[in-house]
Amino acid sequence: MKRFLWIVIGVAVCLSTTHIALQVWAQSPNDRQPRMNRVGKPKISDTVKANVYADNWFTLYINGEHVAVDSIKFMPHNVVSVDILPAYPMTIAVMAKDNANSQTGMEYANTNIGDAGFILKFGDGTVTDATWKAKSFSHGPINRDTKNPKVRNLAIPENWNAIDFDDKTWGHAKEYSHQQVGPKEPFFQHDFSGARFIWTDDIELDNTVIFRHFVAAPPDGVSRPDFSNLNNIVPNSPTRWPQ
């Protein structure tokens, strides 16, 4: 009797193991790999162009990552045009500087009060306008006093470019016309349609300004894959060798 029981148990174990093996065999090769959020590798067609023009300089962060910096500190006025891989929601943080002596707020050997301006357009329809947050961190010469020029500086918060930085108390940017900013030639050679020049309320005396803007979803309504976690998943496109 005992022997019979052992035979029954043995057959049951065999059948169960075979069943599991058949189930695994029936799965596709992809199913046999650990379950992951699968996306293809991003192509250049997944990127959008970011066009940025600052009078005189900027540095740009998207979702806390450094994406672009103006390659020319002062003159000539240039456009920085780079490919970006957008991921939403998207937090944009920009520090922009007018050319100004840090002690006087003036330029050209303290003979001139320079004026500023900033404009940006992304290929997903993101543009600068008065909905952007703006705050000045360096102002001068105070009261336009060019005889005894002084500046007023605020400490720049260390995490000003972070996604979770609290800008609730900041005011909004002010829009300026092309006539007021007077952009130079490279501006007209790039697509800025729909974008507005922005700065704080004082485009002459506010010399260091931080802008922040939150983009909840693509303004053009185009659905795009999210590649922001690409380093932690296995893309489902075939591996090509050599890589």
CA distances from 53 to 22, 66, 69 (A): 62, 17, 11
Cross-strand bridge partners of residue 174: 199
Q: Judged by CB, which is closer to Ca ion: 98, or 124? A: 98
Task: Pick one of 78, 200, 207, 208: the residue that binds Ca ion (CB under 5 A).
Answer: 207
User: 181: which 2 tokens?
Assistant: 């900013």
Rounded Cα gap, residues 133 and 37, in angstroms: 35
Rounded Cα gap, residues 116 and 120, in angstroms: 14
63 binds Ca ion (CB under 5 A): no
For the bound state, the minimum distance from the C-beta of residue 67 to Ca ion, rounded and expressed in Å, comes to 23
70 binds Ca ion (CB under 5 A): no
Q: In 14-23, which positions are buried (b, 16+ CB within 10 angstroms) versus exposed (e)?
A: eeeeeeeeee
Q: In 172-184, which positions are buried (b, 16+ CB within 10 angstroms) versus exposed (e)?
A: bbbbbeeeebebe
Which residues 6+ apart lie within 8 Å of 118 measured at CB?
Answer: 53, 54, 55, 58, 94, 96, 128, 197, 198, 199, 209, 211
136 binds Ca ion (CB under 5 A): no
56 binds Ca ion (CB under 5 A): yes
Q: Judged by CB, which is closer to Ca ion: 63, or 207? A: 207
Q: Judged by CB, which is closer to Ca ion: 118, or 227? A: 118
For the bound state, the minimum distance from the C-beta of residue 184 to Ca ion, rounded and expressed in Å, comes to 11
Task: Pick one of 58, 60, 95, 114: the residue that binds Ca ion (CB under 5 A).
Answer: 114
Task: Pick one of 50, 52, 54, 55: the residue that binds Ca ion (CB under 5 A).
Answer: 55
Q: Judged by CB, which is closer to Ca ion: 47, or 110? A: 110
Q: Judged by CB, which is closer to Ca ion: 63, or 128? A: 128
Task: Pick one of 58, 67, 98, 215: the residue that binds Ca ion (CB under 5 A).
Answer: 98
Q: Judged by CB, which is closer to Ca ion: 100, or 209? A: 100
Q: How many other C-beta atoms can be found within 10 angstroms of the C-beta atom of residue 234?
A: 14
Size of the site for Ca ion (CB under 5 A): 7
Question: Interface residues with Ca ion (CB under 5 A)?
Answer: 55-56, 98-100, 114, 207
